[in-house]
Amino acid sequence: MKKYLDTRTIIFIIIMAGMAVAPFVTDPYQLRVLISCELNMIFAMSLNLLMGIGGTVSFGHAAFYSIGAYTTACLWYHFGWDYSTNFIFVILITGLAGLLLALPMSRITGRYVTIITLSFAEIVNLIIRNWDPVTLGQMGIVGIPNITLFGYRFKTKIQFFYFALIFVILTYIFLKWLVESKLGRNLQAMRDDSIAAEAMGIKLFPNKVIVFTISAIIAGIAGSLYAHLMTYVEPATFNANLSFNCISIVVVGGLGNFTGTLIGSLFLTILPEYLRRFEFLFKYRMIAYGMVLVIVMWLNHSIPGLKLKQSVQKFFARLLHRKTADQEV
């Protein structure tokens, strides 16, 4: 029987409901923080697809984020297209970039994959920095307008919030379909034991290319939303820290657990903002952030991964009189 309402989906619904209500109870500052959470959610989910499901630890995921942001910014700057056409190009170009990064993967396995992604991100950043005629290099692109979709302009932050929230929900559902499909299972099999997977008839390279491309596209979409949110992009913001923050969100949320990624994004985006209000932490805010990372790694390496004990699971099972198991996919 199909497990429609396992614990993860329930928590997802709770979080989304909370977020949907948020604009009415928060002031613009908190709303801005939540928008950053949304972008981090989409970005982290794309990395979780690559790391948690695809088994590739990527150090350079910010590369796709920056490609998405810069595609939107450059297309608007040079041609002035609205979001609908830009969106298609974002998908095309980031997908292509994902494909490009996947090509060396046919010959390389294990630790070296991480190193290739790091170098890829450095090269992408250098291209953006120095390709002045197109990306205006270090000058940055200014005055990116609000998102206009088929004539309708998303003027206020609240409209932008809901626009981004739709993307968060769509991404989550899309990834849920993907994980519970043949492709999703094959990817997880490749992650757990590539030799056994190959023995079961799974073609490793084509699947790797697909997971890289999809993950790149979703990260690119998050990047394009970022460009419209900030109205200004410059290469300096897409540095290595962006990738490391995203890895931390994914790992803190639990590898392969998309609901966990949502919780991880909320936790690691709100934490620095929350620490801002402590006076004594003024200059050492980021030290507290570093300590939290280390502590969470002690605590069985993720919050949701702390295995909501059977009792919680049983509670939902009794509530819905269905048999649910500790579905730790």
Q: Which of residues 263-322 bind another protein (CB under 8 A)?
A: 263, 266-267, 270-271, 273-274, 276-277, 282-287, 289-294, 297-301, 303-304, 306-309
* Cβ closest to another protein, residue 126 vs residue 149: 126
* Cβ closest to another protein, residue 88 vs residue 286: 286
Interaction with another protein in 142-181: which residues (CB under 8 A)?
142-143, 174, 177-178, 180-181
* Cβ closest to another protein, residue 150 vs residue 323: 323
Give me the residues paired with residue 152 across strands. 149
Stretch near another protein under the rule CB under 8 A, chosen from 67-75, 82-90, 139-147, 158-166: 139-147
CA Rg, the chain, in Å? 20
Helices (H), the chain: 7-25, 28-48, 62-79, 83-102, 111-130, 132-135, 157-179, 182-192, 194-199, 204-230, 240-253, 258-275, 285-298, 310-319
Interaction with another protein in 199-258: which residues (CB under 8 A)?
199-203, 206-207, 210, 214, 229-232, 234, 236-237, 240, 244, 247-248, 251-252, 255-256
* Cβ closest to another protein, residue 149 vs residue 198: 198
Per DSSP, 304 falls in state G
**Distance, CA of 137 to CA of 131 (rounded, Å):** 6
By CB under 8 A, residue 4 contacts another protein: no
Question: Nearest distance from residue 323's CB to another protein, in Å?
Answer: 8
Q: Which three-class secondary structure state does DSSP give residue 148?
A: strand
Interaction with another protein in 46-75: which residues (CB under 8 A)?
51, 57
Strand duo 152-153 + 141-142: pairing: unpaired
> According to CB under 8 A, which one of 78, 79, 112, 166 is a site residue for another protein?
112
Number of residues that bind another protein (CB under 8 A): 118
Side chain identity, residue 134: V
* 312 CB-near residues (< 8 Å, 6+ apart): 7
Q: Taking phi first (over 0 means left), then psi (-120 to 50 degrees means alpha), and beta for anything else, what does residue 108 get?
A: beta
* Cβ closest to another protein, residue 60 vs residue 89: 60
Question: Nearest distance from residue 209's CB to another protein, in Å?
Answer: 10
Interaction with another protein in 76-95: which residues (CB under 8 A)?
none
By CB under 8 A, residue 9 contacts another protein: no
* 146-160: burial string, b at 16+ Cβ within 10 Å, e else: bbbeeeeebeeebeb
By CB under 8 A, residue 197 contacts another protein: yes
